[in-house]
Structure 1
Amino acid sequence: MPSTTRERILDAALELIQQRGFGGTAVTDIEERAGLSPGSGSFYRHFRSKEHVFGELFERELERAQQHRRAFERGPLTGDSQDALARRLLQQLDYMARIRPLITLLAREHGRFPELTGRIGDALLDRGIAEEADHLRRDLPGVSDDDDPHALLAVMVSALTGYHLSREFFGRPPADVDPARFAAALARLIAAPRPPS
């Protein structure tokens, strides 16, 4: 299905803002990249301003991120719970790769649009951790409120984020540990039997 002019403008703006930043991207650049005549005003038939297109980009990319999260494997971790948890951790790494455009926008422009950054942080990080903590408590044998699942998830998200950013920044995983090995090691740490309280 061919994309609408509005979607082409959003795609062009996303690509350019990731490359050049918000301040380095002109409306005429967005029009040209979207296949429109630069300076024709076509942009303004769909968006009031560059700020408006930026806000719409955040909304679209946030919705895409939430769609990816809804597709995660759920339910009790049966059989070898560490293997099942490692699969879910690999899902999380794939998720981070899929939401790269949103993360790039946040990294480049968080100071310019603090209200959007706050909303994204709340939706992806805070609510994401709360939802995943609930799944972890329900799905992983032996995890209870005494284990502080929110803190456990904060550690897990930080480890996944650090691994993902290392791969992005250096072009290879830390110590050349591939994603499957990383996920298996993190799953062992998370699912390790806990001493009785």
Structure 2
Amino acid sequence: MPSTTRERVLDAALELIQQRGFGGTTVTGIEERAGLSPGSGSFYRHFRSKEHVFTELFERELDRAQRHRRTFERGPVPGGSSDALARRLLEQLEYLAAIRPLITLLAREHGRFPELTGKIRDALLDQGIAEETEHLRRDLPGISADEDPQALLAVMVAALTGYHLSREFFGRPPGNIDPSRFAAALARLLATPEPPAEQGGNDR
């Protein structure tokens, strides 16, 4: 489906802001990257200002992130299977890669737009951990409120984020451990096996 001019402007602004930061990005530069005539005023037919396009970028990327999260595998993990949990952790790593533009925007410009940063923190981090905690309670046998699944989720998020950032900043994961091995190891730490079923019959 062909993109609209508005979407092309947003895509161009996203590329430039990630490369040059908000301060180093100009309206004429956005127009040129979007395939519009620089200085023609085409930008202002869709956005009031550079701040406006930046706000719209945050909103668009946040919406994409939330829609992506709704595609995650859900349902009980049979027997506390670490294999099933590892698949879900791999989904989380793929999610972090998919929302890289949003993370980059936050990393570069969080101080300039604190309200937007707070909104995204609430939606992706705080709300995300709360929602995933409920899934963890329901899906993993043996996890109870007494075991503080919210703290367990925070540890998991920190581990996944650290792995992702290592790949981003250093060009390779910690210890050169590939995503499947990392997810499997983390799953083994998190999965709680179900207790064995009681044997029927009488002792002889």
Paired residue for 1:15?
15
Paired residue for 2:36?
36
In structure 1, C-alpha distance between the alignment counterparts of 2:79 and 2:14, rounded to whole Å: 43
Counting only pairs closer than 5 Å after superposition, residues 5-154 of structure 1 correspond to structure 2 as 5-78=5-78, 81-154=81-154
> Does residue 174 of structure 1 match 2:157?
no
Q: Which amino acid aligns with 1:129?
A: I
Paired residue for 2:190?
190
Q: Which amino acid aligns with 1:185?
A: A
Paired residue for 2:163?
163
Segments of 5+ residues of structure 2 without an aligned counterpart are 195-204
When normalised by structure 2's length, the TM-score is: 0.93
Structure showing greater Rg: 2
In structure 2, C-alpha distance between the alignment counterparts of 1:140 and 1:182, rounded to whole Å: 19
Identity percentage of aligned residues = 84
Segments of 5+ residues of structure 1 without an aligned counterpart are none
State the 1:158 CA deviation: 0.2
Report the secondary structure of 1:15's partner residue.
helix
When normalised by structure 1's length, the TM-score is: 0.96
State the 1:192 CA deviation: 4.1
Which stretch shows the higher mean deviation, 76-85 or 163-172? 76-85
Q: Per-residue displacement from partner, 1:113-142 (whole Å, max 9, x unpaired)?
A: 000000000000000000000000000010
In structure 1, C-alpha distance between the alignment counterparts of 2:71 and 2:113, rounded to whole Å: 29
User: Would you identify which runs of 4 or more consecutive aligned residues in structure 1 move more than 2 Å?
Assistant: none
Q: Which amino acid aligns with 1:93?
A: L
Report the secondary structure of 1:73's partner residue.
coil
Report the secondary structure of 2:162's partner residue.
helix
State the 1:162 CA deviation: 0.2
